[in-house]
Amino acid sequence: MRRSFATGLAAAGIALLCVVRAQANDTLNVGTAAQSLMFVPLDLGISAGIYAREGLDVRKTDFSGAAKLNQGLAAGAMDVGLGGGTDFSFQVKGTPTKTVAGIIVSAADFGLTVGEGITSPAQLKGKRIGVSQNGTLTYWMAREFARSQGWGPEGVVPVSVGGENANHIAALLTGGIAASMWHVEIGMTLAQQKRGRVLLNAESFIPGFLANTASASDRLIAERPDVLRRFLKAWFESVDYMLGHEDETIAAAVQSSGIEAGLLREAYEGETGAWSRTGRISPEQLVQIARAITDMGLVKSQPDLAPYYDPRFLPAEASAKAVR
């Protein structure tokens, strides 16, 4: 009886310890600018318990576009935002955040998707190109595409259709736009249905672009810097885990995006080099982003972005792992 009592007491103690540990986890509200394969390390890290092992209770919210994500950060509803490289413009304008890591160092997840009838980039001159919102990363990419064709940045007409895959597909199929500057998964979806395809990958006309970054609220930086360090450590551990567990990654992406596994597997296999392994942002990348947000008219003159980049919270071991 004493042994049974002792065993029960020990079990109760272990259960209590687990409850205490769970209660001790720090809550972190993390927003993304859109549902995308690019942000799947967040979903995968949550489901695999990687963030929990760092004592974090990460709560994810998907926004439809960079503007809404940054509104959430400014309002204090979000602690961390995963968005576009051009989100530096919000910080220049006074949003109380700092960029703390580069997370996607390639534009390979973006491309020009077209419906039937478009077979050449030349056919898109002067045409309407779907983007998430004016003044966002995809808006700038559409203008850079036009510039790369020799038409100048006004050579196409960017049209805001929102930050959801379904909106871009619907606008294409109804003729509201001639092409969509959005995630390549929609082009793969239309190709499978024989109703469209990816005409050009964005990496072909803006190589090596810092497509996505992580930003943290000034409040998080000032009041809970260790939480931010643990989040970034877990993010890069999740990237490592993702690159070594393709099946688990595809399953997490299917759940978060609703896109079928075959299409996501194709995107995954073509974009594994896009995820930064260090989080470091080079001075050259900052200059390119500064030019982008100036070209878009988001700021009046080309700014120095160094004051808006705070790399102090990146894990030291990440810098020794890989080439990016």
The pLDDT assigned to 261 comes to 77
Predicted confidence band of residue 320 (pLDDT cuts 50, 70, 90): very low
The pLDDT assigned to 6 comes to 47
The pLDDT assigned to 256 comes to 63
The architecture (CATH level 2) of 27-105+209-320 comes to: 3-Layer(aba) Sandwich (3.40)
Residue 300 has pLDDT above 50, yes or no: yes
Enter the CATH code of domain 110-204: 3.40.190.10
Residue 7 has pLDDT above 70, yes or no: no
% of the chain at pLDDT higher than 90: 60
The pLDDT assigned to 257 comes to 62
Mean pLDDT computed over 110-120? 94
Predicted confidence band of residue 319 (pLDDT cuts 50, 70, 90): very low
Contacts (Cβ under 8 Å, ≥6 apart) of 111: 181, 182, 183, 184, 187, 198, 199, 200, 201, 202
The pLDDT assigned to 9 comes to 41
Tell me which H or E stretch contains 95.
none
Predicted confidence band of residue 318 (pLDDT cuts 50, 70, 90): low
The pLDDT assigned to 5 comes to 42
Mean pLDDT computed over 9-31? 64
Is the Cβ–Cβ distance between 267 and 106 less than 8 Å? Answer: no
Lowest mean pLDDT among 35-39, 166-170, 221-225: 35-39
Query: Where are the domain boundaries for CATH 3.40.190.10 in the chain?
Result: 27-105+209-320, 110-204
pTM: 0.77
Write the DSSP assignment of 58-71 as a string of letters.
EEEEE-SSHHHHHH
The pLDDT assigned to 162 comes to 87
Predicted confidence band of residue 158 (pLDDT cuts 50, 70, 90): very high
* Distance (Å, whole) CA 268 – CA 121: 25
Structure tokens at 111: 């491309």
152 φ/ψ sector (left φ>0, alpha ψ -120 to 50, else beta): left
Predicted confidence band of residue 234 (pLDDT cuts 50, 70, 90): very high
Is the Cβ–Cβ distance between 106 and 203 less than 8 Å? Answer: yes
What mean pLDDT, rounded, does the chain reach? Answer: 87
Write the DSSP assignment of 100-120 as a string of letters.
EEEEE--STTEEEEEETT--S
Predicted confidence (pLDDT) per residue in 183-207, tens digit: 888 898 898 889 999 999 999 999 8
Mean pLDDT computed over 261-276? 75
The pLDDT assigned to 133 comes to 83
Q: What phi and psi values does residue 59 have, to the nearest 5 degrees?
A: -115, 115
CA angle (81 as vertex; 234, 296 as ends), nearest 5: 135
Is the Cβ–Cβ distance between 82 and 31 less than 8 Å? Answer: yes
Residue 15 has pLDDT above 90, yes or no: no
The pLDDT assigned to 185 comes to 82
Q: What share of the chain is helix, strand, coil (3-state, %, to 5)?
A: 50, 20, 30
* Distance (Å, whole) CA 145 – CA 111: 10
Residue 168 has pLDDT above 80, yes or no: yes
The pLDDT assigned to 244 comes to 85
Residue 258 has pLDDT above 50, yes or no: yes
* Distance (Å, whole) CA 191 – CA 181: 16
Mean pLDDT computed over 95-108? 94
> What is the distance of C-alpha 273 from the center of its chain?
15
